[in-house]
């Protein structure tokens, strides 16, 4: 890669062509990046057709392997589920070219990021960890992004040139991912607690009293709206959230503290994801109308199991 090459002239490879990868592809192409490629483990399965249709529509080349993607890229963006963080680094590192940027978007623990970085940097690449600090769809490529690691400062202006809204948080690898993981203990944990509390309250017929008490204790929170939103997020993204919370639990465990809350949240999110796969919530992509409807669906699914 030429040092003088403008970012929009880069060959950009996306590992992971799910919701995040497709949003980034669309915005990079719209921003003038001519050469965007993508690779996804769903290629070659029955889930390939919509990915291929999207790629054709936005002028994105699909590659058959991670190695093929890495060998032709100036910047690799890894946006996969948390459990695949190290696997992606292992698959791309042997083929990565000298000085190629590797931007890791994945919600993984500091330990996982450090292991991935050792693979990429050890093969001549430049690993940068990135933490997405809120939901991507409303912001798209401009989502607030924290950067960390030895190469974070150098890549920041280059990412700005591609349309990202990046901020260097630390030159020390692991700080950014720790920030993300500790936040997730709270945010995904709140989701799990609300689903558990509201569903139980619904079963006992005390939901109105519980909501009234919550609104008195936290007057700035619309618990009706928040409940529906938390159910929606878990139903739409439970599997991804469960994997993220496994990593959050590892982050807590690595300091010697038993992650009872984070580990429990991971189980609750996985539980919801399993019910989604069984069809208990209908179309998971459909807007959720009222948390009570989803709580009733959850209770019905429990009753069927028992």
pLDDT at 136 over 70: yes
The SS3 assignment for 162 reads helix
Q: What percent of the chain has pLDDT over 90?
A: 95
The whole-number pLDDT of residue 18 equals 92
pLDDT, position 135: 87
Both tokens of residue 224? 């009706």
Question: Mapping DSSP to helix (H, G, I), strand (E, B) and coil, where does residue 75 land?
Answer: strand
* Measured distance CA(172)–CA(278) in Å, rounded: 43
DSSP 8-state assignment for residue 43: T
pLDDT above 70 as % of the chain: 99
What are the residues facing 129 on neighbouring strands? 104, 148
Please report how the helices 110-122 and 223-253 are oriented relative to each other, as an axis angle in degrees rounded to 10: 60
CA distance 190 to 207: 17
Write the burial class of residue 203 (CB in 10 Å: 0-12 exposed, 13-18 middle, 19+ buried). middle
- 279: CB partners within 8 A, 6+ apart: none
pLDDT of 202 > 70? The answer is: yes
Query: What residue has token string 């002028």?
Result: 59
Asked if pLDDT for residue 107 goes beyond 60, the answer is yes
Average confidence (pLDDT) over 176-204: 97
Flag whether pLDDT at 4 surpasses 90.
no
pLDDT of 2 > 60? The answer is: no
* Residue 4 or 143, more confident: 143
Q: How far is CA 162 from CA 84, 125, 258, in A?
A: 25, 20, 41
Give the whole-angstrom CA distance, residue 11 versus residue 17. 16
Separation CA 232–CA 138 (nearest Å): 15
Helix (H) or strand (E) holding 132: strand 126-132
Tokens at residue 250, please?
A: 């590892």
pLDDT in tens, 41-68: 999 899 899 999 999 999 999 999 999 9
C-beta atoms surrounding 204 within 10 Å: 10
Task: Please compute the mean of the pLDDT values over residues 279-293 and round it to a whole number.
Answer: 95
Residue 1 confidence class, pLDDT cut points 50, 70, 90: low
Q: Please name the fold of domain 177-305.
A: 1.10.1040
- CATH number assigned to the domain covering 7-173: 3.40.50.720
Give the residue-averaged pLDDT of 5-14. Answer: 93
Residue bearing tokens 């999110």: 269
Provide the residue ranges of all domains of the chain, joining segments of one domain with +: 7-173, 177-305
């Amino acid at each position: 890669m030429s040092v003088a090459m403008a970012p929009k002239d880069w060959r950009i490879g996306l590992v992971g062509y799910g919701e995040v990868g497709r949003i980034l592809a669309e915005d990079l192409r719209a921003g003038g990046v001519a050469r965007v490629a993508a690779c996804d483990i769903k290629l070659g399965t029955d889930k390939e057709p919509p990915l291929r249709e999207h790629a054709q529509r936005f002028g994105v080349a699909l590659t058959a392997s991670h190695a093929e993607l890495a060998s032709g890229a100036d910047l690799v963006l890894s946006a996969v589920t948390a459990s695949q963080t190290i696997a992606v680094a292992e698959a791309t590192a042997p083929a990565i070219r000298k000085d190629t940027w590797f931007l890791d978007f994945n919600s993984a623990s500091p330990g996982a990021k450090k292991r991935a970085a050792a693979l990429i940097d050890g093969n001549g690449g430049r690993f940068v960890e990135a933490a997405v600090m809120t939901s991507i769809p409303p912001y798209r490529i401009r989502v607030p992004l924290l950067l960390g690691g030895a190469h974070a400062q150098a890549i920041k202006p280059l990412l700005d040139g591609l349309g990202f809204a990046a901020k260097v948080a630390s030159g020390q690898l692991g700080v950014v991912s720790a920030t993300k993981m500790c936040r997730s203990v709270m945010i995904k944990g709140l989701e799990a607690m609300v689903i558990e509390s509201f569903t139980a309250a619904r079963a006992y017929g005390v939901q109105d009293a519980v909501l009234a008490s919550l609104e008195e204790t936290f007057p700035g929170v619309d618990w009706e709206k928040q409940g529906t939103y938390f159910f929606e997020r878990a139903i739409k993204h439970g599997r991804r959230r469960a994997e993220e919370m496994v990593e959050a639990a590892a982050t807590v465990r690595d300091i010697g503290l038993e992650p009872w809350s984070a580990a429990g949240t991971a189980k609750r999110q996985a539980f919801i994801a399993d019910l989604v796969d069984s069809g208990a919530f209908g179309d998971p992509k459909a807007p959720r109308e009222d948390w009570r409807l989803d709580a009733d669906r959850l209770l019905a699914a429990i009753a069927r199991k028992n």
